[in-house]
């Protein structure tokens, strides 16, 4: 006998058997299907996750976009200590998230409507992590590019702490590397400007002093600024910065605690030389 | 043709069942059917005591039972969230008349909503649900309601004549868990005041009780946002005499006090990590600007969330939920938190290039599951069998004195600092158990450090760290749980050349400590200096941060700025901090909470501004990857600059080699600045205008105890001329 719908009947019967097998309970707990998407791969919405995710959790075989190249670059740098490959990936990432070729954009107040932003941007917002990481790696070998990258970070987030310090430190490197006196003086001057910009982002105010007891903050900036002033022979300013450094470390010490004693010593030395 | 098309569809559907990436199919298991047993209301754990004395005693000292409900920190955190959003985190009930903007009535909470389709449903009882789901269920009946629905939720314009949220009347949750001798609720005289004379703990004061776990009826896939039984109390609860235990066919219970389930699925569920997963992922209903997720349930797509606690997911995808771990078998939550761990011997194994010795999980005592001669029908004899511990030891000890604990939880509440051991050889004191658990969590090695260094030059310390926990380390409220590396480099005379992960005794004027007090446990790490705005009481309440605080009043880089330098810049310097981070992305033009000292106007974000936030309710991004991944060693470099001979001469110091590097991992269950924020927001100057009696400087100084040196290593570096 020929059954007209034998194929679907067989299939439905087979499916029922499969379902019965799947749903059969045998004493071992069977959870609902666990999270369909990789829980370690955040879906950007709309800004990038700018941190570091353990590379082995991402499940990426070959990076496809700026964010994935950044993550692999971080993996090369942090996990494998492979700086050349890290730099290469950072550069590839940057080429896909670039202001110059308009593959990224700076988000401005004009894009914020009623306190929200569009769910998607085209082009995507610019990322800061790749710029910071690549810039840091290029400080010694290509300080100008490093500074440009750091300055792009300031376009993304002008109030981000630490970026002006990175710029200043790179200018100091530039000053130390050059044999041309005017270039050196200009680099030091630029460093001073950047350090001061850093200090301006977290000013010591009557309110902050009342809350913390701190008369100064940013000890690292004051220390480094003092070094620049010493290097440029501006001893009075150097002494002033050493003084602020000592104040800033009063309740916070320093990762290099011997610098506190050294700063006090330098204050006396500079005072004697006055 | 039609037949073939149908065949293809059916085949594809069948294959879909086995294909993890198939379409939007998300559910392979149905919620279990509801079954009928004799109704039995949720009951006090004391009811279980006569037959299960040991389990009762153990659970009694667990922080999730009892303490959490009166905890100044949990209550402070829940209060802080409510004070910034107008009480939205308090439960609403069946008789609610609250109208949502779309005209629908909000009369279900996070537990009682069949499917969470509105953010406000998730917010309603958000903290309370996981910590006290039974009581929230009982709250639908006004006669058994402990925590009232607040009058006025959110912000409402006074002109409407509505009853608005009144912060001055706001009570912390723990005010509601007190009853008199007749079992009637009694409230402290003023919000947050001490318990009235004669007050006793209510049913709700017990928190996670015997009933909560043993009333389980399987996972509630509809409540979990990804329909997988994870998070936000995705657990079905019976209110019957059917109790689910860990094994089938137990001896009959005396006087039919309860029926023991023989359902193998429910028993297997109770014994599985999946049972713990129902609560130990916490998904916060809020837009996440970097990794937003949405409720996948039908109709739930408007509920977006981010992951606060991600512990269960971490375990689910980790090596201990597989045989690919040193023990060659799945290691469940129960194998560490309900076993003899870490008191049942050690194992030695290899993780990467590190040889590790640590306590063996999954070892259980042999004992009676109930009290012989008391628990069984006809006094039937009980067999001895493998039994679990009910201590549920984790990373917390109470931030309350024994006297305070007794006043709120009864005179028999166990002292967390008890000495001695129980009949299974497990320490009686919670503090000891926590210390021992933490000691098993992580190992470090300095063996890859440079072997030689020279004055005036840099040398590199390489610290390798591996987590041995089933989830990441730290986990849970991992954005506040603080594990970090304290590292020192000294010369052979002990002269300190470098330090990271250090703290400094200092004043805290914002909470009244005007001079250093000699205590280092109340000090924050030096990577960031932050003071969080506690807010202030105003005549008219408006939801948001305007007068309710939460933003950073002070936010500065500290000298040990490792976390940001390492993650974002890739710089080999500063603090190694395993704490995850909550962040707030301020959009261009939004005020960031500080005033410009020059203009006196609010500072606004000029671009997209990222800042760490310590008020979870304000977070719109989270980094849950700073914690240590289990069994995955991670190396952290410290590039350390040594002083020049000239610099040493200037300070009159002579360095003698070799150099000594010492590293240790320390743990603090909450950072002091977070506790100081809670002190401010719940204090007399905060939004309520009076002291909720939860947190203050004295409590921080007396009770915040850090655990130092849970793992350590040393290395010697030769000093070359």
**What pLDDT shows up at residue A22?**
36
Query: Searching chain A, which residue's CA lies closest to the CA of residue B600?
Result: A205
- The Cα of A261 is separated from the nearest Cα of chain B by a number of Å equal to 6
Residue A114 at interface with chain B, using a CB cutoff of 8 Å: no
In this predicted structure, the answer to whether residue A121 has a pLDDT above a threshold of 60 is: yes
| Eight-class DSSP state of A71 | H
Query: Searching chain A, which residue's CA lies closest to the CA of residue B580?
Result: A51
ipTM value, please give it. 0.92
Q: What is the pLDDT of residues A17-31, one digit of tens each?
A: 433 333 333 455 665
Nearest to A211 among B495, B554, B610 (CB): B554
C-alpha span between A79 and B635 (Å, rounded) = 7
> A214: Cβ–Cβ under 8 A, 6 or more apart, which residues?
A204, A208, A247, A248, A250, A251, A252, B529
C-alpha span between B134 and B642 (Å, rounded) = 60
**Could you tell me which of A247, A242, A195, A237 has the C-alpha nearest to residue A216?**
A247
C-alpha span between B48 and B59 (Å, rounded) = 11
Mutate which of B272, B514, B568 to disrupt the A interface (most A C-beta within 10 Å)?
B568
Burial group, residue B652, by CB count within 10 angstroms (0-12, 13-18, 19+): exposed
**What pLDDT shows up at residue B7?**
41
Pairwise CB contact (< 8 Å): A132 & B569: yes
Pairwise CB contact (< 8 Å): B289 & A40: no
C-alpha span between B354 and B326 (Å, rounded) = 12
**What are the residues facing B705 on neighbouring strands?**
none
Mean pLDDT of A200-206: 96
Domains of chain A by residue range: 1-30, 43-160, 166-274
Query: Searching chain A, which residue's CA lies closest to the CA of residue B625?
Result: A53
Which of A5-9, A52-56, B40-44, B344-348 is the least confident region? A5-9
**What pLDDT shows up at residue A118?**
87
Nearest to B28 among A22, A213, A253 (CB): A22
C-alpha span between B5 and A95 (Å, rounded) = 46
Pairwise CB contact (< 8 Å): B567 & A52: yes
**What pLDDT shows up at residue A36?**
72
- Which of A40 and B695 is assigned the larger pLDDT? B695
Which chain A residues contact residue B573 at CB under 8 A?
Answer: 255
Mean pLDDT of A137-161: 98
List alpha helices for B71-158, DSSP H: 72-85, 119-123, 126-138
Nearest to B643 among A251, A253, A258 (CB): A258
Whether A43-160 and A166-274 share one fold: the answer is: yes
**What pLDDT shows up at residue A45?**
78
- The Cα of A186 is separated from the nearest Cα of chain B by a number of Å equal to 26
Pairwise CB contact (< 8 Å): A32 & B221: yes
Pairwise CB contact (< 8 Å): B607 & A261: no
C-alpha span between B575 and B578 (Å, rounded) = 10
Q: What is the pLDDT of residues A209-262, one digit of tens each?
A: 999 999 999 999 999 999 999 999 999 999 999 999 999 999 999 999 999 999
Query: Searching chain A, which residue's CA lies closest to the CA of residue B313?
Result: A39
- Listed in order, strand segments (DSSP E) in B422-474 are 442-445, 452-454, 458-467
Architecture label for domain A166-274: Alpha Horseshoe (1.25)
Query: Searching chain B, which residue's CA lies closest to the CA of residue A55?
Result: B625
Nearest to B219 among A7, A11, A32 (CB): A32
| Eight-class DSSP state of B688 | T
Structure tokens at A195: 């350090």
> B8: Cβ–Cβ under 8 A, 6 or more apart, which residues?
none
Q: Would the CA dihedral through B371, B376, B381, B383 be positive or negative?
A: negative
Q: What is the pLDDT of residues B324-341, one digit of tens each?
A: 999 999 999 999 999 999
- Listed in order, strand segments (DSSP E) in B475-632 are 482-490, 496-500, 528-532, 552-557, 581-586, 591-595, 602-604, 609-612, 621-623
Residue A59 three-state SS: coil
Mean pLDDT by runs of 10 across the 721 residues of chain B is 38 35 41 73 94 97 95 98 95 93 92 94 96 96 96 68 84 98 97 96 96 95 91 94 93 90 94 96 91 89 94 96 96 98 98 96 97 91 96 96 96 96 98 98 98 98 98 97 98 98 97 97 98 95 92 97 97 98 97 93 97 95 97 98 98 98 96 98 97 98 96 97 80
- Listed in order, strand segments (DSSP E) in B276-391 are 281-285, 293-294, 304-310, 346-351, 354-359, 365-368, 384-387
- The Cα of A20 is separated from the nearest Cα of chain B by a number of Å equal to 12
Pairwise CB contact (< 8 Å): A257 & B499: yes
Which chain A residues contact residue B291 at CB under 8 A?
Answer: 42-45, 49
**What pLDDT shows up at residue A46?**
86
Per-position b or e across A219-228, b if 16+ CB within 10 A of its CB: bbbbbbbbbb
**What pLDDT shows up at residue A29?**
61
Residue A52 pLDDT class (50, 70, 90 cuts):
very high
DSSP states of B582-620:
EEEEEPTT-EEEEE-TTT-SEEE-SS-EEEE-S-GGG-S
Pairwise CB contact (< 8 Å): A252 & B526: yes
Nearest to B268 among A29, A50, A137 (CB): A29
List alpha helices for A65-180, DSSP H: 66-74, 83-95, 129-138, 143-156, 163-177
Mean pLDDT of A49-69: 96
**What pLDDT shows up at residue B17?**
33
Residue A161 at interface with chain B, using a CB cutoff of 8 Å: yes
Residue linked to tokens 């359902």:
B263
C-alpha span between B248 and B267 (Å, rounded) = 7
CATH 1.25.40.10 fits A43-160, yes or no: yes
Q: Is the peptide bond before B658 cis (omega within 30 degrees of 0)?
A: yes
Phi, psi angles (nearest 5°) of residue A35: -5, 115
- The Cα of A177 is separated from the nearest Cα of chain B by a number of Å equal to 17
In this predicted structure, the answer to whether residue A164 has a pLDDT above a threshold of 90 is: yes
B499: number of CA atoms within 13 Å, CB side?
18
Residue A208 three-state SS: helix
């Amino acid at each position: 006998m020929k059954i007209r719908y034998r194929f679907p009947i067989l299939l439905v019967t087979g499916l029922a058997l499969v379902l019965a097998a799947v749903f059969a309970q045998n004493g071992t707990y069977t959870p609902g299907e666990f999270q369909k998407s990789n829980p370690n791969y955040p879906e950007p919405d709309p800004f990038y996750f700018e941190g570091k995710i353990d590379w082995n959790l991402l499940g990426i075989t070959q990076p496809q976009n700026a964010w994935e190249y950044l993550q692999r670059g971080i993996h090369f740098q942090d996990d494998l200590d492979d700086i050349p490959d890290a730099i290469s990936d950072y550069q590839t990432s940057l080429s896909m998230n670039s202001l110059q070729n308009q593959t990224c954009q700076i988000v401005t107040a004009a894009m914020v409507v009623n306190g929200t932003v569009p769910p998607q941007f085209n082009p995507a917002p610019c990322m800061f992590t790749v710029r910071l990481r690549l810039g840091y790696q290029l400080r010694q070998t290509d300080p100008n590019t490093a500074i440009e990258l750091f300055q792009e970070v300031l376009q993304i987030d002008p109030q981000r702490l630490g970026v002006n310090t990175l710029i200043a430190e790179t200018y100091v490197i530039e000053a130390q590397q050059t044999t041309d006196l005017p270039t050196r003086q200009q680099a030091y001057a630029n460093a001073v400007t950047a350090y001061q910009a850093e200090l301006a982002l977290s000013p010591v105010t009557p309110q902050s002093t009342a809350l913390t007891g701190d008369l100064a903050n940013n000890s690292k900036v004051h220390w480094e600024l003092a070094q620049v002033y010493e290097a440029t022979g501006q001893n009075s300013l150097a002494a002033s910065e050493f003084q602020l450094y000592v104040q800033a470390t009063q309740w916070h010490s320093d990762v290099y605690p011997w610098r506190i004693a050294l700063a006090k010593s330098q204050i006396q030395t500079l005072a004697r030389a006055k | 043709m039609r037949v073939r098309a149908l065949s293809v569809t059916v085949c594809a559907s069948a294959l879909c069942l086995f294909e993890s990436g198939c379409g939007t199919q998300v559910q392979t298991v149905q919620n279990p059917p509801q079954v009928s047993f004799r109704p039995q209301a949720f009951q006090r754990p004391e009811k279980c005591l006569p037959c299960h004395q040991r389990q009762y005693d153990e659970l009694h000292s667990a922080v999730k039972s009892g303490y959490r409900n009166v905890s100044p920190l949990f209550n402070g955190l829940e209060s802080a969230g409510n004070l910034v959003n107008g009480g939205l985190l308090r439960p609403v009930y069946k008789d609610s008349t609250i109208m949502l903007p779309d005209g629908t009535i909000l009369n279900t909470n996070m537990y009682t909503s069949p499917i969470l389709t509105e953010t406000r449903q998730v917010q309603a009882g958000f903290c309370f649900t996981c910590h006290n789901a039974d009581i929230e269920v009982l709250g639908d009946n006004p006669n058994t309601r402990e925590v009232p629905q607040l009058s006025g939720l959110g912000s409402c314009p006074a002109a409407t004549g509505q009853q608005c949220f009144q912060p001055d009347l706001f009570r912390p949750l723990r005010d509601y868990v007190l009853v008199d001798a007749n079992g009637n609720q009694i409230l402290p005289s003023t919000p947050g005041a001490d318990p009235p004379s004669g007050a006793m703990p209510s049913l709700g004061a017990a928190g996670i009780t015997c009933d909560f776990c043993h009333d389980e009826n399987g996972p509630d896939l509809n409540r979990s946002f990804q329909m997988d039984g994870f998070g936000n109390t995705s657990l079905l609860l019976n209110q019957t005499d059917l109790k689910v235990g860990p094994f089938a066919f137990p001896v009959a219970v005396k006087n039919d006090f309860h029926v023991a389930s023989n359902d193998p699925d429910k028993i297997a569920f109770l014994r599985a990590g999946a049972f713990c997963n129902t609560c130990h992922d916490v998904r916060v209903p809020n837009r996440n600007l970097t990794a937003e997720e949405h409720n996948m349930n039908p109709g739930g797509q408007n509920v977006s969330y981010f992951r606060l606690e991600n512990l269960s997911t971490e375990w689910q995808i980790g090596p201990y939920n597989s045989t690919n771990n040193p023990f060659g078998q799945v290691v469940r939550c129960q194998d560490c938190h309900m076993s003899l761990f870490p008191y049942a011997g050690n194992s030695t194994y290899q993780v990467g290039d590190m040889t590790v010795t640590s306590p063996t999980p999954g070892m259980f005592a042999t004992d009676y599951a109930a009290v012989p001669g008391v628990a069984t029908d006809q006094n039937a004899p009980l067999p001895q069998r493998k039994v679990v511990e009910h201590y549920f030891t984790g990373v917390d000890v109470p931030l309350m004195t024994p006297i305070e604990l007794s006043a709120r939880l009864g005179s028999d509440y166990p002292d967390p600092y008890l000495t001695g051991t129980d009949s299974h050889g497990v320490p009686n004191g919670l503090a000891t158990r926590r210390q021992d658990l933490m000691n098993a969590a992580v190992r470090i090695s300095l063996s890859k450090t440079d072997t030689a260094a020279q004055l005036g030059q840099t040398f590199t310390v390489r610290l390798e760290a591996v987590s041995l926990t089933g989830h990441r380390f730290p986990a849970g409220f991992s954005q506040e749980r603080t594990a970090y590396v304290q590292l020192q480099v000294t010369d052979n005379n002990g002269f300190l050349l470098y330090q990271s992960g250090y703290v400094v005794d200092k004043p805290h004027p914002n909470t009244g400590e005007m001079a250093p007090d000699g205590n280092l446990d109340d000090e924050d790490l030096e990577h960031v200096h932050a003071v969080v705005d506690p807010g202030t009481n105003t005549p008219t309440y408006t939801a948001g941060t305007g007068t309710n605080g939460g933003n950073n009043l002070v936010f500065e880089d500290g000298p040990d700025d490792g976390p940001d330098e390492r993650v974002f810049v890739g710089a080999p310097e500063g603090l190694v901090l395993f704490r995850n981070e909550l962040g707030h992305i301020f959009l261009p033009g939004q005020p960031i909470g500080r005033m410009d000292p020059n203009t006196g106007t609010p500072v606004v974000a000029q671009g997209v501004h990222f800042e760490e936030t310590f008020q979870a309710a304000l977070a719109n991004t989270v980094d849950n990857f700073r914690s240590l991944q289990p069994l995955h060693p991670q190396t952290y470099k410290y590039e350390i600059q040594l002083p020049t001979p000239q610099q040493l001469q200037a300070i009159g110091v002579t360095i003698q080699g070799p150099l000594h590097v010492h590293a240790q991992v320390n743990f603090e269950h909450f950072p002091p600045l977070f506790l100081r924020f809670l002190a401010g927001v719940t204090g007399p100057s905060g939004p309520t205008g009076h002291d909720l009696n939860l947190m203050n400087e004295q409590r921080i100084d007396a009770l915040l105890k850090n655990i130092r040196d849970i793992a350590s290593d040393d290395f010697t570096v030769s000093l070359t001329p």
